[in-house]
Amino acid sequence: MANFPYLNRDISWLSFNYRVLQEAKDPRVPLLERLKFLAIYSNNLGEFFRVRVASNRNLIRIGKKTKKELGFEPKEIVRQAIGIVKEHMIEFTKIFDQQIIPELKQHGIHLLRRLELSEDQAKFIEEYFKDHLLPYVQPVLLLSGKVNPFLANATIYLALDMRDKSNPNRTQYALMQVPSQFVDRFVQLPSPKGEHHVIMLDDIVRHNVSMLFPGFEIRDAYSIKLTRDAELYIDDEYSGNLMEKIKKSLQKRNIGPASRMVHDRDMPGRMLNYLMGMFELSDIDLIPESRYHNNFDFFKFPDFGKDELKLTPLKPLPYAPLKSKKKIFSAIAERDHLVMFPFHDYCPVVDLFEQAAIDPLVTHIKVVQYRVSSDSRIMDALRLAVKNGKVVFVFIEIKARFDEEANLRWGATLEKAGIRVRYSFPGLKVHAKVAMFRRYEDESFKDYCYLSTGNFHEGTAKIYSDFGFFTADKRITGDVKRLFKFLEKLELPTKPFDHLLIGQFNLFDELNHLIDWEIKQAQKGKKALIILKLNSIQDPKMVEKLYEASEEGVEVRMIVRGICSVVPGIFGFSENIRAISIVDRYLEHARVFYFYAGGEEKIYLSSADWMERNLHRRIETAFPVYDKNLKKQIMDVVDLQWRDNVKARIIDGDSSNKYQKVKGQNKPLQSQIETYKYFQRIGEEGQN
């Protein structure tokens, strides 16, 4: 297959983010949760411009790599992306203005603009401005060629269109900062009894700008925001002190070149042209939005105690077999255990570390840390373990995007406590989610391992859907031991990994072998089935391999949350491939690889997506599950997702994101709710 259907990763990602926007307009989603989805959409989009659009623009500037080398034309991708985002922003504004605002009013919550304020409310915001905002607003007159102010990343400014009172024919422009990074974006106003009136900080600043420019008539004020390049561009550095390079790059992150300017779509053309010249922007850098920007601040919108406008919480379920800290190692020695967060409580993972820290039989603890909670009991347990005389090794990946500073801080803290810490490899990320505990039992050492599809992060475990796996199976612990030997001492394994699939060693090749095996079965007329649950698939070789499998008669089912470069249902390529995507209350993060394997049913859980970076430039783990009961649980969960007819969207070549309808299934099936009920049921039945 020299040429095959392939959807660019950035265009596919925008289709995913639209699925997030769909949640914001879905009337089945409680009102305040829909506001949160507007915030998630906005936060996602900001990162997209800071990283992906910025990266493509750098490729355009460099101009060295050809379309043949890259597989795409960066200028065309940026053009397409900007066009898609503009369409999305029009819909975003409609959702907010025509759905969210009216429904908030129905529940007594009024988000007011300054011209809607009562006399008392106007006086309130004037005093509020003087007391809370005046030190932060930083008014600046714009003088072309003389005053060129620096706009901070992701900071809202009001661009003022003014007339000089002493010279009525003279137009003057100015900027004022909206200091939402220092003061709450939403300010509660004096309100009539039984109602809640709120105003945005932007409008408080708008109302008071005239007091700072007494010599001018304020004709209007329009909000703008710059998004700056946040990529560190150090992934492929092989020389020098990598840690120092990262520290220096972090200092420059927020002063990188602009990757977009968001502006009020009502801004006059003459003013927009002036600002473009002032900040050296072109048409392709501009994104028109509504009156308000930085909509990720809706995460902090006050709820006024109206729980009925929020989702009913699902209390995490206890996992009974690992409930006793003192017996946790004996329970794992007896058999493998599987938990799924956030449906299950994260306590077994934390308990494992805390018990290991005080257990006199535990001699060694080793763990890979990619992202960590700022207030982490796991990190506290590691420090306690060292105090108790245990040998502790932590590999910290300091190239975890937007967590670099936090990981550097944790590394310094752990080193100070006496823990042996190793940091990133140049040119290679370590993304594996593994921990190993060595115990001295019956005059010999026994290893216990925890492997997961998600990070050791107590915070994200409440909102990311991931599998966690506890085992003392020597087949797996032996491979984990060899992996840590490589991470700790840089010693290449003397024997191959027999059970784990490890990025940089055997992951890519073994996945190809597993697909080839299904192809051979299909060629013999036998059942051949591949089921993949992924965050993203973009690696061109894997995309082409799945097309080959499809054309040979292998059935391929895919549940892909985000980027999907595979185009299902194309004649001559992907007729046997179907794909769906699920966006719901929890972020789907677990990766599952299923191969029918002639009825043997090989199942792997993994930290790896099928992206070029994961398969070729990272240390990843995919670990097999051998226990039949646990395999059944995994596939029961996957089957629930495959039959979801509430939150599942169809992935197709049109990026239509139509909701899935399941043939013969008339009752609504929302997989995340049903997954919770499933684990609740088997827990009550004692089948864990």
Q: Rounded distance, CA 72 to CA 567, Å? A: 16
**C-beta separation of 109 from 304 below 8 A:** yes
Contacts 24+ apart (CB under 8 A), 439-443: 439/329, 439/359, 439/361, 439/362, 439/363, 440/361, 440/363, 441/361
Q: Is 465 helix (H, G, I), strand (E, B) or coil?
A: strand
Q: Rounded distance, CA 73 to CA 317, Å? A: 49
**C-beta separation of 554 from 519 below 8 A:** yes
**H or E segment to which residue 618 belongs:** strand 618-619
Does residue 110 have an active-site annotation? no
DSSP characters over 286-298: EEEE-S---GGGG
Residues 6+ apart with CB under 8 A from 329: 355, 359, 361, 437, 439, 448
How far apart, in Å, are the Cα atoms of 132 and each of 180, 184, 191, 365? Answer: 11, 10, 20, 49
Q: Residue 454's closest CA among 372, 381, 510, 376? A: 372
Q: Which residue has the tokens 């700008």?
A: 209
Q: Which residue has the tokens 């690696």?
A: 539
Eight-class DSSP state of 537: B
Q: Rounded distance, CA 197 to CA 199, Å? A: 7
Catalytic residue from among 431, 499, 513, 616: 431
The residue count for the chain: 688
Binning the chain into helix, strand and coil, the percentages to the nearest 5 are 40, 25, 35
CA angle, 546 as apex, 540 and 550 as ends, to 5°? 145
Residues 6+ apart with CB under 8 A from 563: 9, 12, 13, 16, 535, 536, 537, 538, 611
- Other Cβ atoms less than 10 A from the Cβ of 526: the count is 13
**C-beta separation of 620 from 542 below 8 A:** no
Phi, then psi, of 327 in degrees rounded to 5: -105, 10
Q: Residue 136's closest CA among 176, 165, 108? A: 176
- Both tokens of 433, joined, read 């989610």
Q: Rounded distance, CA 418 to CA 382, Å? A: 10
Q: Residue 448's closest CA among 435, 432, 466, 467? A: 435
- Both tokens of 115, joined, read 């011209």
How far apart, in Å, are the Cα atoms of 382 and each of 125, 418, 480? Answer: 49, 10, 19
Q: Which residue has the tokens 């550097």?
A: 408
Q: Residue 128's closest CA among 149, 116, 114? A: 114
The overall longest dimension of the chain from CA atoms, in Å, is: 93
**C-beta separation of 333 from 446 below 8 A:** yes
Q: Which residue has the tokens 């699939």?
A: 501
Residue type, 419: I
Three-class secondary structure assignment of 237-251 = CCCCCHHHHHHHHHH
- Other Cβ atoms less than 10 A from the Cβ of 687: the count is 10
Q: Spell out where 113-155 has E strands.
A: 140-142
Catalytic residues: 431
